[in-house]
Chain A
Amino acid sequence: MIEVKGLNKSFNGQHVLFDINHVFEEGKVNLIIGQSGQGKSVLAKCMVGLYEAEQGEVLFDGRNFSSMDREGRSLIRQEIGMLFQGAALFDSMSVEENVMFPLRMFTNMTRGEMQARVDFCLDRVNLAGRNKLFPAECSGGMQKRIGIARAISMNPRYLFCDEPNSGLDPKTSIVIDGLIKDITAEFNTTTVVITHDMNSVIEIGENIIFIHQGKKWWQGNSESIITTDNPEIGSFVYASEFMKEIRSLLQKKRP
């Protein structure tokens, strides 16, 4: 469980996040959604310490991350896996070396044990046998899956995914969403996904917060987001003509 309390963040005097309070639940896929530029990525980066918040606290299972020094944070971060928007794989390393990297840096596993773990993680994301490829030789979807494999290699308690479906076709997006959902259930991780992909919202959103103008505007799940009357949520969810059509159908079905 990750608890965010009274988080405020500004850049050069411009306030970006206002008093964010939320609990990201364990064993669930928690989504942070919102339009571009509303502060959702900033919120996630404040949570993992890539940005320093001016005010507020982030607690990882009761451990106050915000007040920790570099060494303390380093220990918590070893329990965090993160999938970046562009996958952020190390160009100079092969797929296998990328996934093995955290194991080499933080464990005392033998080469054989590390190899077994890498093979398991790659198999888990349906990339078995692709060990020797380099990131430049992989498609966008494959890079995202390698990113997930690297993120889960250390058995993380917390998994962050920054726009995991950006730049992917709908079919591959569904595969990535499915992986995130399955891994969350399998390893009981506290998963935080930043997205504005409506398909992901409907498919995997168990605990959703909507960030608007830097504030936590709304909270719910994949069912309540469809039926809410909140106008800002409405303009986000039903932005396309297709979704507007669906809304009118839903409204006709309502008693």
Chain B
Amino acid sequence: MKSLAQLGKYMLMLTVVFKKPNKWKYYFQRTINEIELIGVNSLPIVALMSTFMGGVIALQTASNMESPLLPDYTVGYITQSSTILEFSPTIISLILAGKVGSNVASEIGTMRVTEQIDALEIMGINSLNYLVLPKITAAVLFFPVLIVFSMALSLLGGWFSLLISDLTTTEIYVLGIRSFFDPYHITYALTKTFIFGFLIVSIASFYGYYVKGGSLDVGKASTQAVVTSSIAILISNFVLTQLMLLP
């Protein structure tokens, strides 16, 4: 029952978030700032994770390929499909749920407990719209860029790890990456990322905005935001895969 009530409250929050901003000029300015805060600042962690994970995927695939019936380019093909279909959109989104989700929940939660949100409301500003909409816009616009970046680095990581381990050649790896490539998989991955970005920021904002109490409660809200958005990502990943990949 409590979860249903929370879901209802979340939906009602979204109806207030998606209103016309007080001033478009400041909405765009804030969106640019948020792109830097939650997007550009996430580039290092995404780069690190993607490069090493791509390398590990390639090495693990190569180490399990003992059958002579499998062509050499299979390593590249499996690295490409694992990266595009699942690793970059889902695993990186789960990492971003931890980094961005906790950041958003604690920022908005701190504003709540220090009465900064009340101050916005008293001025006649729609605080949800002012605080949350630029963050959601930034996430849905920039997370797909991050994921494309992650895909590229993951494939590069795979190539580099295979090359230094002397397990394949560049030509065979590239052949594997290009084999059976379906551009629709990119559409699928970016659609998932768009929805994950929305879920991460809106859920984190929900927990931050409605926090009650003090700094301890802000910490709890931040943790709760990460847990809930991770669960939401996993469930929506399953649903989207059913809807988009299966006939």
Contacts of B23 in A (CB 8 A): 104-105
Q: Which of A77, A85, A90, A104 contacts B121 (CB 8 A)?
A: A77
Q: Is A70 an interface residue (CB 8 A)?
A: yes
Q: A104-B26, A105-B26 are in contact. Are A88 and B123 (CB under 8 A)?
A: no
A160 to B125: give the CA distance in the assembly, Å: 17
Nearest neighbor of A105 in chain B, beta-carbon distance: B22
Q: Is the CB of B123 within 8 A of A85?
A: no
Smallest Cβ distance from B130 to chain A, in angstroms? 8
Q: Which residue of A lies closest to B117 (CB)?
A: A88
Chain A 84-96, CB-CB to B under 8 Å as 1, else 0, gives 1110111100000
Q: Which residues of B contact A74 (CB under 8 A)?
A: 124-126
Chain A positions within 8 Å of B125 at CB level: 74, 105
Q: With A104-B26, A105-B23 as given contacts, are A77 and B118 in contact (CB-CB < 8 Å)?
A: no
Which residue of chain A has its CB nearest to the CB of B118?
A50
Contact residues, A45-95 vs B (CB, 8 A): 48-50, 70, 73-78, 80, 82, 84-86, 88-91
A242 within 8 A of B: no
Q: Within B96-110, which residues are at the interface with A (CB < 8 Å)?
A: none
* Closest B residue by C-beta to A98: B119
- Complex CA distance for A50 and B124, rounded to whole angstroms: 11
- A140: CB under 8 A from chain B? no
A70 touches B118 (CB 8 A): no
Given contacts A104-B23, A105-B23, A106-B22, are A88 and B116 in contact (CB under 8 A)? yes
CB-contacts of B78-132 with A (<8 A): 114-116, 118-119, 121-126
Q: Report which of B16, B26, B118 forms a contact with A88, defined as CB distance below 8 A.
A: B118
> Which residues of chain A come closer than 8 Å to B26, judged between CB atoms?
104-105
User: Are A88 and B124 in contact, with the CB atoms below 8 A?
Assistant: no
**Closest CB-CB distance, B232 to chain A, in whole Å?**
28
Q: Complex formed: what's the CA distance from A219 to B216 in Å?
A: 39
Total contacts A-B at CB 8 Å: 54
How far is A90 from B22 in the complex, measured between Cα atoms in Å? Answer: 18
B214 to chain A, nearest CB (A): 12
CA separation between A75 and B126, bound complex, in Å? Answer: 11
Across the interface, name the chain A residue whose C-beta is closest to B23: A105
A50/B126 in contact, CB under 8 A: no
- Are B119's CB and A82's CB within 8 A? yes
Q: For A104, list chain B residues within 8 Å (CB).
A: 23, 26
Q: Mark B114-155, 1 if CB is under 8 A from A, else 0.
A: 111011011111100000000000000000000000000000
List residues of chain A with CB within 8 A of the CB of B114: 86, 88, 91
Contacts of B16 in A (CB 8 A): 70
Q: Are A70 and B126 in contact (CB under 8 A)?
A: yes
How distant is the Cα of A88 from the Cα of B122 in the complex, in angstroms?
A: 11
Interface residues of B in 38-91 (CB under 8 A from A): none
Q: Give the residue name and chain of the A residue nearest to B130 (CB).
A: A105
Q: A175-196: which have CB < 8 Å to B?
A: none
In the complex, the answer to whether B126 meets A80 with C-beta atoms within 8 Å is no
Judged by a CB distance under 8 angstroms, whether A234 is at the interface is: no
What are 22 A-B pairs at a CB distance below 8 A?
A49-B121, A50-B118, A50-B122, A74-B125, A74-B126, A77-B121, A78-B124, A80-B124, A82-B122, A84-B115, A84-B118, A88-B116, A88-B119, A89-B116, A90-B116, A91-B116, A102-B123, A105-B22, A105-B23, A105-B123, A105-B125, A106-B124
Question: Which residues of A are at the interface with B, using a C-beta cutoff of 8 A?
Answer: 48-50, 70, 73-78, 80, 82, 84-86, 88-91, 101-102, 104-106, 154, 160
Nearest 10 CB-CB pairs, A to B? Answer: A77-B124, A88-B115, A74-B124, A88-B119, A78-B124, A82-B122, A84-B115, A88-B116, A102-B123, A105-B22
Given contacts A84-B118, A86-B114, A104-B26, 5 further A-B contacts (CB under 8 A): A74-B125, A76-B124, A88-B115, A101-B123, A102-B123
